[in-house]
């Protein structure tokens, strides 16, 4: 398990989430800090990253020391390692992802608002990492200071399904996570049916019947997906199927408003082959109030 830290509030929340996830899975935790060294132009059109200064290295050491101390207090017994990289945040995390079970990042780093939009570290890592990537927002609190979801007896994991290999991988991850935490799984499938040009046709019996048939077929399809993905370890996970006529991102955000975790595939059926992170996944990453895990299929399933 690898978590990126940069001293921001979001990265501190990501550190706590990663420590809990690593402890639950009996995995060591690597706390990684990437030195944000500027790249300068060099002769003949080359670009060179500047060498870290002693002050930069000292700041990194103190930041990691503080992170390790925090984890040791909250998760005594958890094996914690540290790593400093000069490759830059996204490249450092992607290099670490090649040997990690999961990479964890905060939704916003020290870059502030700008880092919540496409091109940010979280989006780039989610798009390119070969392992699941968890993007952790800053904590949600209600007016009284209580964390949302604290009053529920059972946790909630929400997963988006569209029948693609990416969503099948997301479903398997979500089932495992729900089984591990004792949570309910909410399987969300969104669909849209073309509306007739003449609004009066909305009440036409043939249109109503076609609409009902499409909704029933989608519901059956999702339930079949869930049962096919279950294993002996996830056979008892309670599942609620939510088939809604809506845009996929809006449906996921609506169901995920009170979720403990939202799981999405990196790309769905609507994505272009060259688009490494689909529009639905990006929208959910940018707006979800809960942690989001972006998964991708096993190599033999890609393009399936």
CATH number for the domain that contains residue 228: 3.40.50.12370
Question: Directed axis angle between helix 121-128 and helix 279-287, to 10°?
Answer: 140
For residue 222, being part of any structural domain is answered with yes
The residues with which 47 forms a beta bridge, in sequence order, are 41
- List the pLDDT tens digit at each of the 304 positions of the chain: 999 999 888 899 999 999 999 999 999 999 999 987 555 556 666 665 567 678 888 999 999 999 999 999 999 999 999 999 988 889 999 999 999 999 999 987 544 433 433 348 889 999 999 999 999 998 765 544 445 444 456 799 999 999 889 999 999 999 999 999 999 999 999 988 766 666 666 677 776 788 788 889 999 999 999 999 999 999 999 999 999 999 999 999 999 999 999 999 987 554 433 344 678 898 999 999 999 999 988 665 554 4
**One domain for residues 21 and 110:** yes
Report the alpha-carbon distance of residue 133 to residue 128 in Å, rounded. Answer: 10
The residues with which 10 forms a beta bridge, in sequence order, are none
How many structural domains is the chain composed of?
2
Residues spanned by the domain of 285: 156-301
**One domain for residues 42 and 76:** yes
Q: What is the structure's pLDDT at 142?
A: 52
SS3 149: coil
Token pair 């993905």 is at which residue? Answer: 229
For residue 146, being part of any structural domain is answered with no
Q: What is the structure's pLDDT at 61?
A: 94
Query: What is the pTM for the complete model shown?
Result: 0.84
Report the alpha-carbon distance of residue 253 to residue 287 in Å, rounded. Answer: 8
For residue 122, being part of any structural domain is answered with yes
Which CATH number covers residue 101?
Answer: 3.40.50.620
Overall size of the chain counted in residues? 304
Region of 179 on the Ramachandran plot (φ > 0 left; ψ -120 to 50 alpha; else beta): alpha
Report the alpha-carbon distance of residue 106 to residue 115 in Å, rounded. Answer: 10
- Phi and psi, residue 282, nearest 5°: -65, -45
Report the alpha-carbon distance of residue 69 to residue 149 in Å, rounded. Answer: 28
CA 226 to chain centre: 20
**One domain for residues 75 and 205:** no
For residue 171, being part of any structural domain is answered with yes
Torsion sign (Cα): 160, 165, 171, 176? negative
**One domain for residues 261 and 160:** yes
**One domain for residues 176 and 293:** yes
What lies within 8 Å, CB to CB, of 107 at 6+ separation is 10, 115, 116, 122, 135, 136, 137, 138, 285
How far CA 62 is from CA of 81, 133, 143, in Å, comes to: 14, 26, 34
Q: What is the structure's pLDDT at 141?
A: 57
Q: How many CB atoms lie within 10 A of CB 89?
A: 25
**One domain for residues 92 and 218:** no
**One domain for residues 88 and 126:** yes
Q: How many CB atoms lie within 10 A of CB 48?
A: 12
**One domain for residues 218 and 287:** yes
Q: What is the structure's pLDDT at 197?
A: 66
Q: How many CB atoms lie within 10 A of CB 300?
A: 8
For residue 148, being part of any structural domain is answered with no
**One domain for residues 165 and 288:** yes
Contact between 187 and 226 (Cβ < 8 Å): yes
For residue 46, being part of any structural domain is answered with yes
**One domain for residues 160 and 56:** no
For residue 12, being part of any structural domain is answered with yes
Report the alpha-carbon distance of residue 190 to residue 204 in Å, rounded. Answer: 23
């Amino acid at each position: 398990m690898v978590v990126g830290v940069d001293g921001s509030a979001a990265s501190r929340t990501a550190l706590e989430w990663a420590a809990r996830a690593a402890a639950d899975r009996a995995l060591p935790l690597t706390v990684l800090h990437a030195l944000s060294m500027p790249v300068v132009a060099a002769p003949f059109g080359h670009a060179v990253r500047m060498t870290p200064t002693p002050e930069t290295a000292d700041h990194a050491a103190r930041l990691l020391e503080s992170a390790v101390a925090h984890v040791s207090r909250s998760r005594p017994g958890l094996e914690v390692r540290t790593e400093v990289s000069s490759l830059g945040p996204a490249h450092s995390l992607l290099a670490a992802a090649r040997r990690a079970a999961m990479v964890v990042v905060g939704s916003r780093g020290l870059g502030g608002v700008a880092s919540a939009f496409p091109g940010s570290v979280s989006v780039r890592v989610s798009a390119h990492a070969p392992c699941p990537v968890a993007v952790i927002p800053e904590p949600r609190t209600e007016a009284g200071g209580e964390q949302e979801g604290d009053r529920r007896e059972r946790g909630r994991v929400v997963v988006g399904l569209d029948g693609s290999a990416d969503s099948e991988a997301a479903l398997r991850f979500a089932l495992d996570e729900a089984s591990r935490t004792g949570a309910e799984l909410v399987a969300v499938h969104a669909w849209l049916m073309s509306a007739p040009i003449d609004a009066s046709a909305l009440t036409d019996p043939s249109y109503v019947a076609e609409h009902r048939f499409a909704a029933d077929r989608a519901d059956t399809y999702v339930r079949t997906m869930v049962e096919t993905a279950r294993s002996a370890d996830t056979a008892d996970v309670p599942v609620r199927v939510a088939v809604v006529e809506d845009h996929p991102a809006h449906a996921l955000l609506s169901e995920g408003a009170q979720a403990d975790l939202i799981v999405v595939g990196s790309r769905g059926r609507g994505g272009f082959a060259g688009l490494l992170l689909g529009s639905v996944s990006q929208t959910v990453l940018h707006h979800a109030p809960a942690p989001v895990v972006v998964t991708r299929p096993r190599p033999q399933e890609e393009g399936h």
